[in-house]
Chains A and B, each alone.
Chain A
Amino acid sequence: MSNPEEFSERIPSDTARGREVQEQIVAGMEQRGFSPRDVFGVRLALEEALVNAIKHGNRMDPAKSVQIDWSLSDSEVHIVIEDEGGGFDVNEVPDPTDDENLDKPGGRGIMLMRSFMSLVEYNDTGNRLTLEKRKDEVDED
């Protein structure tokens, strides 16, 4: 299984449906021999990303949907998640690790995605997120 495969799903604003796609993506990674650590990170990032898209992006509006496109090869998984919300400015999200924010909710999802994924990028509007995980990357820290 060396050829990259491409997938596409459009789901309603329903976190249970989001989790089904999450399972589909990580099952593909496991088949292609990604490590349990990579799978853990991608699962966590997808959980945060899809909940953000459905809850904060689409505000649970059943009339809105989330588009998920991903490609999977033996060396990396590349995922694009787009919601139909108005977006947000990722630079305005407070740093949850600042001492004054440590006991406040919010901002941790994005921070976890950044830490576990090789690439996390929002479009200018903030309603489209690109996630990428390359296999067996050595941690910098």
Chain B
Amino acid sequence: MSAGHRRLDIEEVGDVTVAKFVDKKILDEGNIQIIGNQLFSLVEEEGRQKIVLDFSNVEYLSSAALGKLITMDKKVKAAKGKLRLCSVRPDIYEVFAITKLNKLFDMRENQEQALEGM
């Protein structure tokens, strides 16, 4: 599996980086590893500070994926940046709510709202 195989669509909106997950299912461990590395490199290598993660495509994710998002949140906070999540469908939002991660993450309804005041 190539590490360069992009699992995120990256778009610049002003000074904000919008990273959209390509996959419908974020389950496979190898895939989660790649996604994690691509997310972390946005902060650690590219020094991006304002990041929106767009979940429009995501229909399933597991607790292993949540682990990567938590790590991402820590890295962004350590870099004094801002991280927001958007367009999380109701089933998936429930996964965040059950695990109370909706309190940890700044979650917005859609991309427009996520970009507001970023």
Q: How far is the CA of A15 from the CA of B103 in the complex (A)?
A: 31
Report the separation of the CA atoms of residues A115 and B60 in the bound assembly, to the nearest whole angstrom: 16
Chain A residues near B58: list those with CB within 8 A. none
**What's the Cα separation between A32 and B100 when bound, in Å?**
33
Query: Given A40-B91, A47-B27, are A103 and B70 neighbors across the interface (CB < 8 Å)?
Result: yes
Q: What A residues does B54 contact at CB under 8 A?
A: none
Compute how far the CA of A129 lies from the CA of B99 in the bound complex, rounded to whole angstroms.
21
Tell whether A43 is near chain B: CB-to-CB under 8 Å: yes
Chain A residue numbers with a CB within 8 Å of B110 are none
**Contact status A44-B62, CB under 8 Å:** yes
Taken together as a complex, chains A and B put the C-alpha atoms of A102 and B74 apart, in Å, by 11
For residue B11, CB closer than 8 A to chain A, the reply is no
Give the tally of cross-chain contacts (CB within 8 A).
52
- CB–CB A44/B70 < 8 A: no
Residue in B29, B60, B73, B104 whose beta carbon sits within 8 Å of that of A44 in the complex: B60
Pair A103/B74 contact, Cβ less than 8 Å: yes
- Set of chain B residues within 8 Å of A97, measured between Cβ atoms: 99-100
A16 to chain B, nearest CB (A): 8
Chain A interface size band reads: 20 to 34
Interface residues of B in 88-110 (CB under 8 A from A): 91, 95, 98-101, 103-104
* Complex Cα spacing A106 to B64, Å: 9
Query: Which residues of B sit under 8 angstroms from A51, Cβ to Cβ?
Result: 29, 62, 64
B91's nearest neighbour on chain A, judged by CB, is: A40
Are B62 and A109 closer than 8 Å at their CB atoms?
Answer: yes
Instruction: Report the nearest B residue to A139, measured CB to CB.
Output: B94
Q: Is the CB of A15 within 8 A of B63?
A: no
Closest to B103 in A: A102
Closest approach, in angstroms, between the C-beta of B56 and any C-beta of chain A?
A: 17
Pairs A–B under 8 Å by Cβ, sample size 10: A19-B28, A40-B60, A40-B91, A51-B29, A51-B62, A51-B64, A105-B70, A108-B63, A108-B67, A109-B63
Beyond contacts A40-B60, A40-B91, A44-B60: 16 other A-B pairs, Cβ-Cβ < 8 A, are A19-B27, A47-B27, A47-B60, A48-B62, A48-B63, A51-B62, A102-B101, A105-B63, A105-B71, A108-B67, A108-B99, A109-B63, A111-B98, A112-B63, A112-B95, A112-B99
